[in-house]
């Protein structure tokens, strides 16, 4: 795998969050879950939810819509109209953490949002659905949703892959895919990068005022992707993704998971790549205050069968047997040394000093405990895993199993409370998994909900 980086004079640092545990009394009478709330919006066309970010005072959601949509979930209306009937328009909407709706506006289509320390947010996404006929946008907005600055790049990738991470001084690190020579610096200076074949990953850092700091690239001879980053205490950043290996056996080659550490100027300190002749990718990543790195690994066998895969990219070995498709939670140290890997359902990931938190949902009853004990999943959950990989328990909330609710994004307020967002579908959006029944709203739409865990 190739790697390119050049450093500018400014320095960047990068940031991360938290979740809980369960005790079940044998033969205890089931109690009703604590009451949450739900906010919905819909219109004449289709609305979709793509991204969610939870800040100290604001919750931000973004996605796409067609036609005319009323984004005010209350008795009044704020109707926004899509700019182009031939393709979806984007939107950004924001709420107080108590569920009070604060505003909405049209936008490019956000695919990742991160709340900033001043109450605003960064968002990255795209507009335009045809190869070579669209743009990637990176934008910062204030606490009232107004645009502070926007940067854009010609979108010349087959599929969009991007993410944003806020740094402690209020700046941002963002990533996106590209496959033609691209100038990463949107200002008057030039920072042009080439590709090594197929799609590569660009990583860019900006100051709070939008000034360009540095750029880096990852890539190999095939189509690569990157979708997660997290901060280190020294101001550096951990990034993860996948790189293609077209030379591997089989019709479609293989994909390797990759993990790398960059310093505060964007220079590579180390990188790791693994996966063998199969399909592997590194997804969500979180770093605690000690520099411990937690990572989701997605593994798949090309023919749908089973195979043994080494998850340790270093001199040691850690073989696991993978059946068709599986997901693992792994731990690495600050120098890239592999420590352990355990099966996991996946979800949103946060790290703290002595444990890592996973928040998610399951569409069927599955066992959350990877050990011999049984801990069935009943819906939305907040799981705790120790720094040594031991399963410590889960707090849960029953979810709707009728298919009327589709959960797209999840975030954590604290160890016992989740924010959940997604789409709802007729008939009637009942039962409501977040609180008491509410009057049905015709059609399909999107929602944001508060889900206390028990």
Q: What is the pLDDT of residues 355-376, one digit of tens each?
A: 999 998 886 778 888 888 888 8
74 against 63, higher pLDDT: 63
Q: Which of 29-33, 279-283, 372-376 has the lowest mean pLDDT?
A: 29-33
Q: What is the pLDDT of residues 220-236, one digit of tens each?
A: 777 777 767 888 888 78
Is 291 contained in some domain? yes
pLDDT, averaged across the chain: 81
Q: Helices in 316-371 by DSSP H: which ranges?
A: none
Is 93 contained in some domain? no
| Cβ pair 149, 209 in contact under 8 A | yes
Q: What are the backbone angles phi and psi of residue 316, rounded to the nearest 5°?
A: -80, -175
405-431 per-residue burial string, b: 16 or more CB within 10 A, e: under 16: bbbbbbbbbebbbbbbbbbbeeebbee
Q: What is the pLDDT of residues 404-452, one digit of tens each?
A: 778 888 888 777 888 999 988 765 555 567 766 655 556 688 999 998 8
Is 430 contained in some domain? no
- Output the pLDDT for position 8: 30
Is 453 contained in some domain? no
Q: What is the pLDDT of residues 252-274, one digit of tens each?
A: 557 888 999 999 899 999 999 98
Domain that holds residue 268: 2-13+108-346
Q: Which of 19-23, 214-218, 234-238, 397-401 has the lowest mean pLDDT?
A: 19-23
Quickly state the pLDDT bin for 390 (edges 50, 70, 90): very high
- Output the pLDDT for position 112: 92
Query: Facing residues of 41 across strands?
Result: 446
Q: Is the pLDDT of residue 403 over 80?
A: no
Q: How far apart are CA 88 and CA 94, in angstroms?
A: 20
Q: Is the pLDDT of residue 32 over 50?
A: no
Give kind and range of the element (H or E) at residue 310: strand 306-310
The predicted model scores a pTM of 0.86
Mean pLDDT across 73-93: 86
Q: What is the pLDDT of residues 300-313, one digit of tens each?
A: 887 778 889 899 99
Quickly state the pLDDT bin for 243 (edges 50, 70, 90): confident
Is 121 contained in some domain? yes
Mean pLDDT across 73-81: 89
Q: Which of 93-107, 167-181, 236-250, 326-340 has the lowest mean pLDDT?
A: 236-250
18 against 334, higher pLDDT: 334
How much of the chain, in percent, has pLDDT values that exceed 90?
38
- Output the pLDDT for position 11: 23
The length of the chain in residues reads 454
Is 24 contained in some domain? no
Domain count for the chain:
1
Quickly state the pLDDT bin for 26 (edges 50, 70, 90): very low
**How many Cα atoms within 13 Å fall on the side-chain side of residue 423?**
16
Is 425 contained in some domain? no
Choose among 178, 170, 180: nearest CA to 205: 170
């Amino acid at each position: 795998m190739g790697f390119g980086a050049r450093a500018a004079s400014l320095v960047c640092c990068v940031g991360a969050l938290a979740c809980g545990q369960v005790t079940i009394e044998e033969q205890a009478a089931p109690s009703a879950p604590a009451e949450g709330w739900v906010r919905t919006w819909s219109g004449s066309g289709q609305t979709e939810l793509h991204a969610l970010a939870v800040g100290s005072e604001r919750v931000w959601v973004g996605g796409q819509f067609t036609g005319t949509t009323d984004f005010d979930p209350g008795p009044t209306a704020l109707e926004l109209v899509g700019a182009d009937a031939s393709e979806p328009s984007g939107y950004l909407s924001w709420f107080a953490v108590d569920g009070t709706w604060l505003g909405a506006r049209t936008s490019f289509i956000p695919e990742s949002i991160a709340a900033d320390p001043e109450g605003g947010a960064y968002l990255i996404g795209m507009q335009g659905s045809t190869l070579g006929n669209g743009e990637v946008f990176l934008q910062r907005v204030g606490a009232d949703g107004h645009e502070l600055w926007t940067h854009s790049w010609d979108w010349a990738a087959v599929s969009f892959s991007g993410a944003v991470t806020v740094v402690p001084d209020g700046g941002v690190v963002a990533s996106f895919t590209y496959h033609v020579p691209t100038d990463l610096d949107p200002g008057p200076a030039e920072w042009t990068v080439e590709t090594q074949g197929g799609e590569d990953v660009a990583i860019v850092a900006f100051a709070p005022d939008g000034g360009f700091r540095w750029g880096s690239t990852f890539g190999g001879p095939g189509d690569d992707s990157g979708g997660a980053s997290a901060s280190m205490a020294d101001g550096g950043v951990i990034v993860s993704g996948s790189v293609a290996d077209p030379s591997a056996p089989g019709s479609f080659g293989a994909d390797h998971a990759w993990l790398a550490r960059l310093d505060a100027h964007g220079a590579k300190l180390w990188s790791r790549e693994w996966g063998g002749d199969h399909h592997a990718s590194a997804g969500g990543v979180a770093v605690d205050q000690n520099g411990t790195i937690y990572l989701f690994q997605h593994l798949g066998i090309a023919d749908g069968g089973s195979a043994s895969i080494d998850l340790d990219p270093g001199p040691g070995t850690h073989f696991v047997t993978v059946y068709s498709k599986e997901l693992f939670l792994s731990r690495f140290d600050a120098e890239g040394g592999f420590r352990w890997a355990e099966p996991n359902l996946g979800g949103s990931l946060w790290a703290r000093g002595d444990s890592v938190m996973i928040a998610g949902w399951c569409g069927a009853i599955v066992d959350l405990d990877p050990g011999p004990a049984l801990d069935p999943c009943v819906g939305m959950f907040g799981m705790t895993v120790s720094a040594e990989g031991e399963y410590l328990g889960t707090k849960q909330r029953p979810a709707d199993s009728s298919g009327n609710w589709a959960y797209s994004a999840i975030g954590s307020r604290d160890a016992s409370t989740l924010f959940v967002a997604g789409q709802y579908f007729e008939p009637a959006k009942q039962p409501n998994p977040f609180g008491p029944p509410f009057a049905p709203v015709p059609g399909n739409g999107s929602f944001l909900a508060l889900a206390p865990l028990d």
